[in-house]
Structure 1
Amino acid sequence: MYQATPKQSAPEPGPQAIHHEWRTAENSATYVQSKLRSMKELKPNLTLLDVGAGSGTISITFAKAIPKGLVTAIDLNPDILTRAATVADSEGVTNIKFQQADAYKLPFADETFDITHCHQVLCHLKAPWGVLREMLRVTKPGGILAAREGDLETECVWPELPGLLRFHRLAVDIIKIGGGSTNAGRQLLSWALKAGAKREQATATFGTWCYSERADKDAWAQGIIKMVGAGRVHDLALKMGLATEDELVGMGKAWQEWQETDDATLGMLHGEILIQK
């Protein structure tokens, strides 16, 4: 279990964490918000499992939404959970706990949680339906499973700078080499049925990410600039021969230009699914 040191400020995030920490329940889980509110009215002490929580910004905002409930946030990476715990502490959120766990083998009994949730996790996995099956197993009868996945093949960006298009190809290559899917969003319903959900239990929708306002563009661009400059994405691109150092530098410069361009925008479709158990 990961707990933050009281009064400790959160350590500086790594390159990928900066990119991810823009995400909150408000901007990345709106499809589940109304359901969460109605469930909270009937049962204030809801239990929620966030699978693949990363540095925890979505998990923490869920915890704020259910102050009398408890959020359990899991991830396979212990280092990112250390940051998540200190971020929660710095925001004064105490109804949350962090635990290292394998999403394919959740260390919880059947029917433990009122809500199970994941965001941008399944697209990286070779057998995402296996994780959905586990999430369904630990969801209580009457509870819900919520999942949201990007559909990278629908990404559109303006202006279409060569460095931005080159980064898109790099992102596609990295996901495919890892055995993941670049069109996960459109496959969510199919994966849910393969996991054992009944069709009448599942509601599929689509949402979007849109980066057009300055603050959102700053967060997106700076996260990617740091990723191509150092860290896992940078190192993997070089190791696998997916990009040269000069190309990575060019990608960073292109994102800087995009960030500073008034008419720059970026959008992407996201598949969403709610499964009522």
Structure 2
Amino acid sequence: MASQRHLAYVPGYKPEHIRHHAWRTAENSAAYLLPKLQEISSKKPDMQLLDCGAGPGTISASFAKLIPQGTVVATDLSAEIVQRAKDFASASGITNMRFQPASIYELPFDDNTFDVVHAHQVLMHLEDPLAALKEMLRVCKPHGVVASREFTGSESYYPQSDLMEASRNLIKAVGKALGRTENMGVKLVSLAMQAGVPRSNIEASMSSWCYSTPEERDVWGGSMRDRFRSSGMRKTALEQKLGWTEKDMDDMADSWQEWIDAEDGVLGLMNGEVIVTKP
């Protein structure tokens, strides 16, 4: 059953733990998809787009602005975060969106419904990303597009510290303990092929995020700091006995604050992307 292999989002949905999610827009997190979106909407202005695992809905809302005659449907496993996305769209004056709690393993839509099906940093958190991708393909129309962007595992930052490095190791260990898929961004082409898509129907690319201004460092570093202070990730690390103590995680949180405060602080993340045309 889907419920047996679906994992909750471990850090949780408290605003302080996912502030970097609300920073995301189509422009800074789905730029690879925008030319294709423009191409489809120019031919079919009333197109339908499904955003799976939409979180606070900032990327979804960006899509909705770009296809004003179309419809964006935003889904997430958490009813709480779906309501937050709905509130964000309402406050932004966006009227061409719908919202529905849903599991990506069992999307409550008919076959061949959407022109575009999108997911951002979703497959990496799943036990069975292949099943999820197959479900995304199911609800996509023939010759429509399924798009995903996922972290590759490649990250660089400065100033470096032992505690920052330990925090990265803890994040990886928690993911491994819970059956997450490591380095999902470099596996997207393979995943699509396993789902039965011909290689010729898969476009791959990569792009990065960079956090360097005081505001950007606070967005990313603040989320990390607060996750180490109190979140589902901290709780999991303790329950799974992964080798880190509460004091260790307090120190890791402090190291993230030090990085935020460093005027020369910079952090970059590499993401893999695929645009899959459904046969």
Q: Do 1:227 and 1:234's aligned partners in 2 also have CA atoms closer than 8 Å?
A: yes
Share of identical aligned residues, percent?
Answer: 41
Q: What letter is aligned with 1:132?
A: L
Q: What letter is aligned with 1:30?
A: A
2:5 aligned residue? none
Which whole-Å deviations, capped at 9, do the CAs of 1:12-69 have from their partners, x for residues lacking one? 9533221321111111101001111121111111100011111211111111111111
Q: Do 1:193 and 1:199's aligned partners in 2 also have CA atoms closer than 8 Å?
A: yes
Does the alignment pair 1:42 with 2:43?
yes
1:178 aligned residue? 178
1:135 aligned residue? 136
TM-score, structure 1 length as denominator?
A: 0.91
1:257 aligned residue? 258
Q: CA deviation at 1:128?
A: 0.7
Aligned Cα RMSD in Å? 1.5
1:80 aligned residue? 81
- In structure 2, the CA distance between the partners of 1:85 and 1:13, relative to structure 1 (3 Å rule), is farther
The ranges of structure 1 where at least 4 consecutive aligned residues each deviate by more than 3 angstroms after the TM superposition are none
1:189-228 correspondence runs (5 A): 189-228=189-228
| More moved, 221-230 vs 237-246 | 237-246
1:107 aligned residue? 108
Q: Do 1:151 and 1:185's aligned partners in 2 also have CA atoms closer than 8 Å?
A: yes
Q: What letter is aligned with 1:76?
A: L
Which whole-Å deviations, capped at 9, do the CAs of 1:83-142 have from their partners, x for residues lacking one? 111111111112111111111121111110010000111111122111111111111122
Matched residue pairs, number? Answer: 265
Q: What letter is aligned with 1:202?
A: I
| Runs of 5+ unmatched residues, structure 2 | 1-12
Counterpart secondary structure, 1:151: strand
Counterpart secondary structure, 1:53: coil
| Inter-partner Cα distance in structure 2 for 1:13 and 1:241 | 24
Does the alignment pair 1:169 with 2:169?
yes
| Inter-partner Cα distance in structure 2 for 1:88 and 1:170 | 35
2:158 aligned residue? 158
Q: Do 1:73 and 1:97's aligned partners in 2 also have CA atoms closer than 8 Å?
A: yes
| Inter-partner Cα distance in structure 1 for 2:89 and 2:193 | 35
| Inter-partner Cα distance in structure 1 for 2:99 and 2:147 | 19
Counterpart secondary structure, 2:94: coil
TM-score, structure 2 length as denominator?
A: 0.91
Q: Do 2:177 and 2:240's aligned partners in 1 also have CA atoms closer than 8 Å?
A: no
Counterpart secondary structure, 2:18: helix
Q: Do 1:22 and 1:219's aligned partners in 2 also have CA atoms closer than 8 Å?
A: yes
Counterpart secondary structure, 1:241: coil
| Inter-partner Cα distance in structure 1 for 2:22 and 2:274 | 22
Does the alignment pair 1:31 with 2:32?
yes
| Inter-partner Cα distance in structure 2 for 1:241 and 1:18 | 28
Q: What letter is aligned with 2:213?
A: E
| Inter-partner Cα distance in structure 2 for 1:15 and 1:124 | 19
Q: Do 1:124 and 1:178's aligned partners in 2 also have CA atoms closer than 8 Å?
A: no
| Inter-partner Cα distance in structure 2 for 1:220 and 1:138 | 33
Counterpart secondary structure, 1:196: coil
Q: What letter is aligned with 1:42?
A: K
| Runs of 5+ unmatched residues, structure 1 | 1-11
